[in-house]
Amino acid sequence: METNIAQAVDITYDRARYDESVKELLADKQILARILKYTLDEFKDTDIKTIIANIDEPEVSRVRLEPGHTNTDKIKKSSEEDSVLGEGKIFFDIRFSVYCGDDLIKVLINIEAQKSSDVSKLGYHLDNRIIYYLGRMISSQKEVEFTKSDYDNLKAVRSIWICMDAGDNEDSIIRMNLTQESIFGSGMNLPNIDKVQGVIIRLRSNENSEESKNTLIAMLEELLKKEVADVKKKHLSEKYGLEMTRDTEKKVNIMCNLSEVVLEKGIEKGIEKGIDSTIENMLTSGSFTDEQICVATGKNIDYIIEFKKGLGKR
pLDDT tens-place string over residues 225-238: 888 889 999 999 99
Distance, C-alpha 75 to centroid of its chain? 27
Query: Is the distance from CB of 156 to CB of 194 less than 8 angstroms?
Result: yes
Q: pLDDT > 90: what percent of the chain?
A: 41
User: Which pLDDT belongs to residue 67?
Assistant: 52
Give the pLDDT of residue 43.
Answer: 96
- pTM equals 0.74
Non-local (6+) Cβ contacts of 60 within 8 A are: 20, 23, 24, 27, 93, 94
| Average pLDDT over the chain, rounded to an integer | 82
DSSP 255-268: HHHHHHHHHHTT-S
Alpha carbon distance 289, 172 (integer Å):
37
Q: In the structure, what pLDDT confidence band is assigned to residue 42 with cuts at 50, 70 and 90?
A: very high
Dist CA 141 CA 131 (whole Å): 16
- Residue 66's closest CA among 96, 39, 89? 89
The neighbour count for residue 206, using CB atoms within 10 Å, is 11
pLDDT tens string 236-294:
999 999 999 999 999 898 888 877 766 555 555 555 666 788 888 888 888 888 888 88
Pairing mode, if any, of strands 105-114 and 156-166?
Answer: parallel
At residue 162, the pLDDT reads 94
Q: What is the pLDDT of residues 300-312, one digit of tens each?
A: 888 888 888 887 7
Average pLDDT of the segment spanning 103-125: 90
**Structure confidence at residue 2 (pLDDT):** 43
- 28-49 average pLDDT score: 95
What is the per-residue pLDDT across 172-198, written as a single tens digit (0 to 9) for each? Answer: 999 999 999 899 998 899 989 999 999
Say yes or no to pLDDT of 4 above 70: no
Nearest in space to 69 (alpha carbons), one of 78, 61, 77, 60:
78
Per DSSP bridges, beta strands 156-166 and 196-204 are parallel
How far is it, in rounded angstroms, from Cα 249 to Cα 246? 5
Which has more pLDDT, 58 or 65? 58
Beta bridge partners of 201: 162, 173
Amino acid at 205: S
The pLDDT assigned to 83 comes to 35
Distance CA 258, CA 264 (A): 10
- Whether residue 74 is predicted with pLDDT greater than 70 in this model: the reply is no
pLDDT at 10: 58
| H/E segment holding residue 166 | strand 156-166
Under 8 Å between Cβ of 186 and 224:
no
* Residue 65: pLDDT band with limits 50, 70, 90: low
User: Residues 251, 21: contact at Cβ < 8 Å?
Assistant: yes
Q: What pLDDT shows up at residue 85?
A: 37
Mean pLDDT along residues 143-151: 87
Question: What is the spatial distance between Cα 55 and Cα 257, in angstroms, rounded to a whole number?
Answer: 28
- Using only C-alpha atoms, the chain has a radius of gyration, in whole angstroms, of 21
The rounded percent of the chain whose pLDDT value lies above 70 is 81
